[in-house]
Amino acid sequence: MNTVINGVAWFSKNIIWMNIIFGCIIVFFERRNAKTTWLWLMVLTFIPGLGFILYLVFGQDFSKEKKFHGKLIDDLQKDHIAHTQLKSIRSGKYKFNDEEYYKHLDFINMNLNSSQAVLTEDNDIKLYFKGVDKFKALIEEINKAQEYVLLQYYIIKSDSLGMSVIDALCEKAREGKDVKVLYDGMGGRGLSKEAVEKMHKAGVKTAEFFPPFGKKLAIRINYRNHRKICVIDGRVGFVGGFNIGDEYVGLSKKFGDWRDTHTKIEGSAVRWLQWRFLLDWRFSNKGKDFDQQIYRTSILESEKKGTSGIQIVTSGPDSKWPSIRDSYLRMISNAKDKVYIESPYFIPDDALQEALRTASLSGIDVRIMIPDRPDHPFVYWASLSYIGALIKSGVKCYTYGRGFLHSKVVIMDDFISSVGTANMDIRSFELNFEVNAFIYDKEINRELTEKFINDIEYCKEITLEDYKNRSKIVRIKESVSRLLSPIL
């Protein structure tokens, strides 16, 4: 008892000096933006002791360069391919399949420069808006596998849907196919030990990305691998918003019908989804259980399937630039007709907010759709605060009411669209590992636009009058949540 009392007394006596030390670490050892730095300093000042615990969970940042240094070196191995294409485009030697591409050279060049996102123009794309359809197609493609299955999801659960996917993977492994499963250390908490053991017994190899509890007890929610990728035999790839769990096929009482967007891709873009998996697997599994030559050979032999253009853009804490965020910003800034955005979390930084505002004031049709219910309350109320500011400039904002909207889609004019894993929020831009397919195709753009317009039927538009008449309680929630938005 005396030991506890003495410990509390020591803590109380030294808390001021501890806060000063923690504050110095945040200011001098971390490369943060000013808003985030000031917010953490306020947290440490007003809730000493507890503030440091919150910092360890939500904010610790200074070791990311060390943690992801080797991963970045691996990523740089594909630079020369992107550099060759960029050089060809700039010299005028590169010949596009469609004249429309020439109107967007700045956008294509930016993605090549910032994310080494090679443009491929021979892809066939199928869109999925319902989990039942997407997972039916996924399992069918897994069942067709002749060589290997590479599956990477932020969330994999051991529920009905999860076990259906796991059973298909196990069957392929028992047939002697090379099956690899990569899941995030935090998002994969719903994957039971029994399910993992079942995969191992069948011959499935698994890896966990950045486990939250290690030797150094790194307890935090930052640096999560939010990507959702599956590649089968190098011929077909899936990327989009759906995770693996029963709620994603509408079986959750809390969320009901789940509205999302996912793609199935056939063509040369699959090689770059596979390359992304390769690098994440090598980092997570420390290079074990991986024959690089097999996969590098296969990605050079992708069969031409269609005429859609795609750049696979990835970003994360290991990236030199926030490439997906920059691509969103460029789409908004370059728009001549419309910008439609679907995102479950809407916390734009200052540049994105200003771009949306000025686009709307310039006569661009800017529309934003978010859920009408929160799965993360603070994020939801912060989103409403940013929505409120944009409504004043003429942006049309909607809350989707037919279940939960989880789709991450940005549509620009009639040619460029984005479908992927990155939300329109600071966490996706700076703290999570994300992947998006930036698509150059009028038909895909039209299909996404039609779906957006049809979804408005299930939405309530937030008018300026509605926003001005919101209750005091809502105003308080918004104010507090907006203050916390840099760390949400």
Per the residue annotation, which of 104, 134, 172, 226 is the catalytic one?
226
Q: Please report the pLDDT score of residue 355 as a whole number.
A: 98
Residues 6+ apart with CB under 8 A from 242: 128, 131, 134, 135, 228, 248, 260, 262, 406
Count H helices, E strands: the chain? Answer: 19, 19
Q: What is the pTM of this model?
A: 0.86
CA dist., res. 41 & res. 169, Å (int)? 47
Which alpha helices (DSSP H) does 437-487 contain, by range?
A: 442-455, 464-468, 472-484
Mean pLDDT of 284-304: 61
Q: pLDDT by residue (tens digit) across 409-458?
A: 999 999 999 999 999 998 899 889 999 999 999 999 999 999 999 999 99
Per the residue annotation, which of 98, 233, 257, 365 is the catalytic one?
233
> Is 226 in the active site?
yes
CA dist., res. 310 & res. 124, Å (int)? 10
> Is 104 in the active site?
no
Per the residue annotation, which of 408, 425, 451, 455 is the catalytic one?
408
CA dist., res. 279 & res. 275, Å (int)? 6
Mean pLDDT of 160-186: 97
Which alpha helices (DSSP H) does 229-349 contain, by range?
A: 269-285, 292-299, 323-334
Per the residue annotation, which of 78, 134, 228, 451 is the catalytic one?
228
> Nearest-CA neighbor of 181 among 170, 193, 194?
170
Q: pLDDT by residue (tens digit) across 79-118?
A: 778 999 999 999 999 999 999 999 999 999 999 999 999 9
Q: pLDDT by residue (tens digit) across 469-479?
A: 988 888 888 87
Rounded to the nearest 10°, the torsion over CA 328, 330, 332, 334 is -150
> Is 80 in the active site?
no
Burial of 214 per CB tally in 10 Å (0-12, 13-18, 19+): exposed
Instruction: Confirm if 195 and 179 have CB atoms less than 8 A apart.
Output: no
Per the residue annotation, which of 406, 425, 455, 477 is the catalytic one?
406
DSSP letter at 460 equals E
Instruction: Confirm if 274 and 93 have CB atoms less than 8 A apart.
Output: no
- Domain coordinates in residue numbering, the chain: 2-62, 125-303
> Is 233 in the active site?
yes
Per the residue annotation, which of 61, 122, 413, 441 is the catalytic one?
413
The fold of the 125-303 domain, in CATH, is Endonuclease; Chain A (3.30.870)
Q: pLDDT by residue (tens digit) across 218-273?
A: 455 778 999 999 999 999 999 999 999 999 999 998 899 999 999 999 999 999 99
Say which range, 58-62, 221-225, 257-261, 345-349, has the weakest mean pLDDT. Answer: 58-62
pLDDT band for 375, please (50, 70, 90 cuts).
confident
> Is 280 in the active site?
no
> Is 372 in the active site?
no
